[in-house]
Structure 1
Amino acid sequence: MHCCYQRILTETINNIQVDYTVIRTSPSLIMNSRTSAQDVIRCDLCETAVVQMHCDTCLVNLCKACVGEHASTDPSKPHKIVDFKDRKFTTIYPNCRSHNKEKCKMYCKQCNIPVCINCLESNQHLSHELSKFLQALDEKKDMIIKERNELNDTIYPTYQDIASDVQKRMRYLEKDYGDLATAIKKHGDDLHREVDKLVEKLKAEVDEMKNMQLQTLQKHLDEINKSVSEIKNEIDSIDVAVDSNDISKLFSFTSVMNRHKDLPGKIVPNLPKFAFGRIQGEELGKLFGSLSSSSSTLYKHGYRMTTRQKSPETGSSPPIKQLLDEPEIATTIETGYGYLYNVACLNDEDIWTSGEDRTMKLFSINQGSLLQSITTKSGNAKSNIAVTKGGDLVYTDTNDRTVNIVKNEKIEEVIRLQEWRPKGVCSTSSGDLLVIMDSKDDKQTKVVRYSGSIEKQTIQFDDEGKPLYSPSYRYLRNVTENKNLNICVADDGTGAVVVVNQAGKPRFRYTGHISALENKPFYPRGITTDSQSRILIADMNNDCVHIIDQDGQFLRYIDCGLTEPWGLCTDTNDNLFVAQWENKQVKKIKYLT
């Protein structure tokens, strides 16, 4: 039995390719103590220069400067120097734990360790399931990659979704507790009003009782004063009679004494008494109302695994996002302008804004703090803004008739016009600039595509030679490019959104929706698009944003308590940013799932 096992073992080992000498792994995984945080591999000799070459004979990584030194160290060897990217990728077998000088070329699945030929000859792994080391290595690698993929594609995005859900619940909790506190205060205010009413009622009753008793006493006093006057007159008559020599007056005197000896009655007012209601603290609490206890319930199976969507391949459609039933305001940013006109996303963290002064401001979205201010080169106010694909700020200067770009905080003039005034600007997916402009006499409007300062295309008339856009001498204009390369203009002069294709041919006009929120005329100001090629339009008159699809069909409104929305933009996650004209705020709104 032992001889048979030994023969099978010998044949298995002989089938192993023993000429592997270089580590069998991808160069992207090679790393040692001299490797930087960016996985840069250093020369094994000088330990400072970046690796460029490799000796397949000695398995040494080299920079070009150290190749000669390495070759001269042992001239007897046929040093095979190759480019680092062309080095051999094979396996260095691990040393055996029990037999230091032996390489492990087999793997014991039962003991879960690599083993050498001496281990096998010692019968330590007799009847154990064995496999070639490379096979075990591949199986282990496959298992690790599978686990990594599951972590990356399922578990990691699930935890991200859970974290997002918890944050959302925290926001809801803040709102709900705020609503609860407001309701309690309102209840208290209502009770205060009821108590005030009761106090006023009781005070009125007190005044009425007082007045009635005062009237009674006054009547009694009037009667007494009348008697006092009569008695005084009687005394005067007696004095006259007594002092007179006329005897007839004395004999004509009639006594009235008995009539005044019967004194008037005494009226003593009895004051009403107020029985104060005695309510102890606990009783008052019960009377006012009480809170139930709060609690949090842990549902062990409250979440389900989600799988990360693969990045769409070039030319494929983006993942479909649905409109939320109730859009949510995520952030409000105070800008401090006199009037706020436009907003443009620099990235998912920061936004540029412009208003009715000469300063363009960069704000942190999450902090709401001012990061940077840029003043227009001419000092003129009212600039329209956009951000290029490279992240540079572009702005129009209507009075100076220029379009400018800000690079490293330095302003460069890109376009200077003579007979036209630039109003709005946007950066396209190809890197071109679309500029909407009005003529000097305010009678014409057109959209011009520029590559740098070179005019490539003019869009002004339809197929019948009629103007596509109305002139607007007063306000800034807004233009954007959709994901399907349509060009969309918010034409406030005619109260319409005018959409043409890439060639400048008219596609449709959107003139608002019949059931506008406030039933006022459609007044489009800002315009932007999202990843689904939907078009979003700021309707300043109706304090809302219209959402239409790429063919001009109305989908829904976003109001969220907006007031006079003007500028719009969306970030890479399809969050909407709304610049509100008079209250100078930018609101970040989540409106897609």
Structure 2
Amino acid sequence: MATSSDEQAAGQHYLVCGIQDCQKNGQFYCNDCHQPMCEQCKDEHRKCPNTKNHDIVLYRQRKHRLPIEKCKLHPTKNVDIFCKECNTPLCLKCFLVKEHKGHEFDDLEEIYAEKYALWQGEFSKIQKYFLPTSEGLKTDIKEDVREIKKIMESIRTSMKAEAESLKNLVDEVTSEKIEHTHTMEKSFLQMLKSQEATYDDYITYLGEMSAKFQKYLSTTNQNLLSSEILKFKTIPEASKPVQPVFTAGQFNRDDVAKLLGRVNVPNTEPEKRKIQPMEAVSIPMKFTKKQMEQSKEKSAMKQTLSLSSSVTKVREYSIPGVYNANHISADKSGRLWVSDWQNLVQTDIQGNMLQEIHTSGYRDEGYHTATQDGGLIYTDKVKKKIYRITTDRKITKFIKIGDWTPLSVHSSHINGDILVGMYKDEEAKVTRYNKAGKEIQNIQRDNQGQELYSLPHYITENINGDICTSDHSKQAVVVVNKSGQHRFSYTGQGSGFRPWGICTDVLGHILVCDTVSKTVHLLNQDGGFLSRILSEQQGIDNPQGVCMDDENNLYVGQDDTNTVTVYKYLQ
């Protein structure tokens, strides 16, 4: 639990009253004295004759103090009046001179307050629209770079494969043609061998005839008178083979190029990058009277709350349909959604089951989140989609992720945006969608280009718009601002740290479960460790899921039990 020494080490948890020696919560503000006040000092301030007419408001509704600027004509006086006729800031002495007699004047502090609000609105636009949109476009370009490299490498591989195929065909055809020359040669040789044999026979015949003639000529013989002897066979005819001729193929580089595929860019207009219109992004500019009253009530409540010196157990109940309470989402009506390994159950405030869904979520993932309208959003990591459950229990497909696998999801209580932690191969990121499901921001790397996340398995949002992610693989709580700029990473208190469930409270504290120390760590808004707010002393054995409701109750779920315990630690 948080002790007074813990609180002092961590700094103030509320504004301190500006009246001398008063250390109470300065929830009010005197626009005339420009200092915060507690309720008691405010009452005394109004009773005092000198200050009874001072303008005292809630601190959040205070006027911002006019910067001190000396008058150029009267260096000892401060400028605090604005002459509308001369369009010039003046001091009290200038106001009294005759040159400004009869002119209309305005309180320069009022003008400054209006301008401050205007500039604050423009600053809000930069932070909530222009910066995230530009960062998103930059991320898209980086994605396109990776995609182009991947496509070009695939094309090169295809070209090499096609060339190899053509080479194989050339080798195959060449082998066939060479085999044909062997067949032709064999035919020619057979023909010539036959002719050679014919002449061998004829030469033998001539030898026989020559011997016969010689015999007749060497003796006197009546056979010489016979004319039949002089008749012998003539030389047989033989034809010369027609010699084959090789005719070279008629081709050049262009012919080869035509045989192979080619790379070209379609002659179409390039698609323009989608820039989300500003009206689709939740930037609070003008509020209705009802919204202003609600905001004042919440602001007043926040400024009267502080850390209690002890943690009080409020109630506990068992959740039917789950074995463990690994992740919890509480809606405005007090009903709970609790999940373990692929079981997601909704209960009423007595713990009775209202709805049961079988999902693809794992026990170490914050894969569901209650929405502002009382519904639920949950991820499906197998189908790579995000589903919405409305108050009438209808389940509809909400967002298609693509080839990324969704792990965690959070519905913003500030503007209704949807934050999704996801991964693909060796990469991980957090993507922001608006309430309509349109992608408006991607957060993946820090200013040095280093990967921010490894497995963002639980995610939430703080009151200042910071995105707080529990990364089980990095063993850290990674926090970025609403523009996606890395603010800090919390890695525990030196004895090992394995973060699971995470949530934030109305004062901006961050609460995260640590499965190593089996406690719940309480951090301030800037990542400073305040205390282990829940441990075995409060009956906690292995906390894994945490969430806050609208009554500032802390719900804690544990592993190996389906019991959810509710605590109070703010007063």
Fold match by TM threshold 0.5? no
Query: What band does the TM-score fall into relative to the shorter chain?
Result: 0.3 to 0.5
Structure ranking higher on relative contact order (CA contacts 8 Å, 6+ apart): 2
